[in-house]
Structure 1
């Protein structure tokens, strides 16, 4: 009996050490991601998962890094694992939706953005990114509706003005396109304004 207790104690101690090491590797991975050292970030987060496969956040963080480096399928796998453990996390649905956009899987992206909006109706970026999907699909009316809602929720969301202005230009409504381009510029996004100038819409 004494041997059994001693073995259980050793096993418990080893588990604690592994958990601490997993946390340490996770922290290293996050710091490496922040520093732009994505290869080490992936390696460190993978080591953390190896030591503690039951920590959801590590999968999420590794998914973010995979998305940054264009490994979209691997990012989706990690977001799926995280969401199987944390099924109501709006940020995970949002980031998986963005990754689906990068893969051109618009139906899946819309489903994820819909889920975000259902869980958090004030999530302005979800409307903006769903608008991007509708825009890409040529559904301009829906895109503008989503950009309008994103702007209503967050009036300083420069990218939403830029995106909406782009749709206006596609529709031939250059006046409204220019207004949004100027607003986006004032908020720090000059992409649409520069494009409009090259096309002769602005002087």
Structure 2
């Protein structure tokens, strides 16, 4: 089986394995590395955004391949710290839904932002995702282990997006852009309650 077919089948299998998006606050266990590692895989919105970051970074190429995913993970962990400290941040859920649509559009339209502008865009969305994760941590439990787990899982999902884009290559760049369009549709469906 070709690398391209394996990448496509792996992406489809991963997407099919996740559960529908659920409200973030209070969802699941938050006291271990394994719980944190599994958390980004528990919602379609999380998986979609994490893979979209990787796809977009691969489309851009160069420094974006490492800088954009690193910015998302780093600022997501900062946001998680704010959430664990119960610092209120408005519009967390709408921002997460907006990230699904916006990052899908970036991929679908192959938007070519300068690397620093992409870092700022991705980092802003990462903060909201992290805050949602952090507010779920019960005080006095293994919050740091949970954060480490979802940080690693997020980085791996970014890597999956990068690998899928590279496996598809320039000959099949339309499939990568199609994945971005699917991300937009998913975000819109979540926003209006159809998914």
Same fold (TM over 0.5): no
Q: Which of the pair has the greater relative contact order for Cα pairs under 8 Å at 6+ separation? A: 2
TM-score (norm. length: structure 2): 0.22
TM-score (norm. length: structure 1): 0.22
